[in-house]
Amino acid sequence: MTTTPPYLKKGDTIGLVCPAGYMPVEKIQTCISVLMEWGYRVKAGNTIGSQYNYFSGTDEQRLEDLQQMLDDDTVKAILCARGGYGVGRIIDCLNFKRFKKNPKWIIGFSDITVLHSHIYNRFKIASLHAPMAAAFNDEEYKNDYVQSLKQALEGKRSNYVCEINAYNKLGTAGGKLVGGNLSLISHLVGTPSDINTIDKILFIEDVGEYIYNTDRMLYQLKRSGKFDKLKGLIIGGFTEAKDTTIPFGKGIYEVIYDVVKDYNYPTCFQFPVGHCRENYALKVGVDYELKVGKKKVSLKEI
């Protein structure tokens, strides 16, 4: 049974942290302003605008910042300003004792997949795979995807629709939604944060990967049984895919299709989630219904 953190109300506080890669503070300002316009208070962590080489602080600084937000009962949600890399370096040092007693929404994607997977699989607490700070810039906070984050925080049930794809496998499935960034999911195999996909709807996405490396990660999941007992599969954006000097010989979605084509559950390709503008908020660990039809695809929270 999944525990769903309380939804937010006007005046609640959202903590803002950078638990992984560095992000200049000026790229976060619009996000802070819009969150306040939505009616929330914002508590900026010490890692906002902080830098230590690639990271937003040392491992110790990022750990302390996130830990303080997890333990602060006045903070009702934690929005990770960006992903990048770094959560896997500190995840085993985090103490979730107070968080388990007073769950709050953890928000983000990309490297934040580590948090989503760890929190759901260890504690059965839902979290939000959703746009982060950069998505608010250049008035993009007005688009449907950033607005879907606002609606999710307010407790509105999502019902997303997307176009069909030639690689889709038709059908209807219901189950708890899990997933995130393919690179992180594959690297979590065999760790305490490993994702459990049995009887789940799995979604995957990625950015900037070589096609052969995507193929390798998919086979990692296939060989470790992650595709065997799914209820449904959602393939999100695989943006900025790169090829080698000697071409791999297939496009990115053809590569994915070849790995998953023999499974019988509903599968949809190019769902709007990932490292792109089209990135709907998805509640990890919550029940959804996936319908892959001849004319449209829908993913509805149930």
Q: Is 205 a catalytic residue?
A: yes
Q: Which of 50, 118, 148, 205 is catalytic?
A: 205
Separation of CA 282 from chain center: 7
Q: Which of 116, 118, 129, 275 is catalytic?
A: 275
Q: For residue 223, give both structure tokens.
A: 């060989």
Which DSSP state fits 39? T
Classify the phi-psi angles of 108: left when phi > 0, otherwise alpha if psi is within -120 to 50, otherwise beta.
left
Residue type, 137: N
Which DSSP state fits 112? G
CB 111 within 8 Å of CB 20: yes
Q: Which of 50, 110, 148, 186 is catalytic?
A: 110
Q: Which residues contact 201 (CB under 8 A, 6 or more apart)?
A: 173, 174, 175, 176, 177, 178, 230, 231, 232, 233, 234, 288, 290
**Angle CA(54)–CA(188)–CA(171) in degrees, nearest 5?**
120
Q: Is 110 a catalytic residue?
A: yes
Nearest to 79 by CA among 114, 121, 35: 35
Q: What CA–CA distances, in Å, run from 92 to 138, 177, 187, 193, 234? A: 36, 24, 15, 9, 29
Residues involved in catalysis: 110, 205, 275
